[in-house]
Structure 1
Amino acid sequence: MSNKHGRFLMPWNWKSKTMQQDPNPRPATGYPYPQPGYPYQNHNPYYAPPRNPRAVLLRRLFIVLTAFLLVLGLILIVFLIVVRPQLPNVYINSLSVSNFNVSNSQVSGKWDLNLLFRNPNSKMSLHYDTVLCSVYYGRASLSDTRLQPFDQGKRDETPLNATLSVSGTYVDGRLADSIAKERASKGNVEFNLRMLSWVTFRYGAFRRRRWLTIYCNDVALAVPPTTSSGKMLASSQRCKSY
């Protein structure tokens, strides 16, 4: 077709207009196409969101505290390996009983005890608070007494004397029968001693306080039924410290 000026005109076609406007246009290559319902994601590997200053401070404080505790623990371990604190050694040098009598479920007696405390530490001195000393038959406590506090230097030895007495104390009938049978069959009676105290280990400015328990079990005293006194059969006996 041509117009009045002689120019050739393309015939109008509705299909050509439809082809010019694509109903489903595609995004240009190189730009992400956001999906409905999903936020846009930044794929820049060098991008980092801003940090919370408080969280950073807390993280650094935690790291510093952890490092300090590790160093302190390492120093303590090295110190304990070098110094090697040891519990004291305790010995019974002698033990005797007098006025010993068991009858009608009652016990009477007086125990005279001589102890030796030895500090095995070559680099640490010791301080003992009041020492509670008790005498037992089996698990039954018969008498107890308290010893005064004392100090010990490095590798020192300290002898201590103690007297424990009981007069007419009631005991269980089975306990009284057990003592009588032991005296009749063996001619001796085995007693148990226990000592309790707080002990402080000293090394320069270092102080370490701990609870000390000392057991002296099965200490045999020759006490025949015909006598009321007797002495320890062994010349000495070492106790156990915990």
Structure 2
Amino acid sequence: MGDPNRPVTGYPAAAAAPPNPNGYSTAQPPPPATAYPYAAPPYYNNNYPYQDPYTAQRNTFLRRVIAILVASTIITGTILFVIWLIILPRVPEFQIDSLNISNLTLSNSLITANWDLHFTAKNPNKKITLYFDEIAAAIFYESLSIADTTVPPFFMDKGNVTAQKVSFVASGAYVEKWAFDGMNKERAERGGVGFNVRMVARVSYKAGAWRARRRYLRVYCGDLFVGVALNKSSGNLLGGPRKGRVGL
């Protein structure tokens, strides 16, 4: 057994660093990731943009203005829609009552003729009056316009029916060969010629203080067969009155 009074030996003690001749300690700094006994100083970020109070007020004001405009538009549209549902506006009705042709001459791809058109317009609305102006009318053979004219403006009260007369004149008007040959062929085979009538008018709807914006009304009535054989220069509409197609 060892001597219990023998001193315990272990690792040799680290040699003390030699003193610095300048009087400073030559102890090494602590290794990285060594915790300090005091808390780290707080971090301040000075890169936030400066918020101008006037800019914030202006943006708030613009947002409110936009919100008011949107709300006003929605409210106005809703009111107009409700009024529209209450009034229930309908397009007028047109009927061609008669179409007469006179002084018809077809020669060398030229046509000379007079047309007298009578039509009836009906206002089916019980709460709305109608104003027609800038009315243009034309006579067609198939897709070819032969003669056109204007119709005087007229007014239609609620549920009113009005009759109008329109006159067309063609004096030596040139027609394309296919149309010239087609009219002569119809006269020879069927004893007449089929014409089309088109009208475009600007119409206004008014009910009391309410008035809708003006719209363009289009009326078309096709295959108006006028009996005028090769040996005749005048004729009348065959088959009775015809309803016209009306659209806005």
What's the TM-score, normalizing by structure 1? 0.80
- State the AA in 2 paired with 1:25: Y
Secondary structure of the residue that 1:218 maps to in structure 2?
Answer: strand
CA distances 1:158-201 after superposition (whole Å, capped 9, x unpaired): 10011112122221222111111111122221101111211111
State the Cα distance separating 1:69 from its structure 2 match.
0.9
1:7 maps to which residue? none
State the Cα distance separating 1:88 from its structure 2 match.
1.1
2:77 maps to which residue? 73
CA contact (8 A) 1:120 1:155 kept: yes
Correspondence 1:207 to 2:218: no
1:39 maps to which residue? 45
1:185 maps to which residue? 189
CA distances 1:94-124 after superposition (whole Å, capped 9, x unpaired): 1111111212111111111111011111111
Where does the alignment leave 5 or more consecutive residues of structure 2 unmatched? 1-15, 18-26
Larger Rg over CA atoms: 2
> Within 5 A, what are the aligned runs for 1:26-175?
28=39, 34=43, 39=45, 52-175=56-179
State the Cα distance separating 1:32 from its structure 2 match.
8.4
CA contact (8 A) 1:27 1:33 kept: no
What's the TM-score, normalizing by structure 2? 0.78
CA distances 1:146-166 after superposition (whole Å, capped 9, x unpaired): 221111100100100111121
Correspondence 1:229 to 2:234: yes
Secondary structure of the residue that 2:162 maps to in structure 1?
Answer: strand
CA distances 1:1-57 after superposition (whole Å, capped 9, x unpaired): xxxxxxxxxxxx99xxx8xx99642664xx8853xxx8279xxxxxxx978111111
Aligned length: 219
Secondary structure of the residue that 1:190 maps to in structure 2?
Answer: strand
- State the AA in 2 paired with 1:205: A
Note the aligned Cα RMSD (angstroms): 3.0
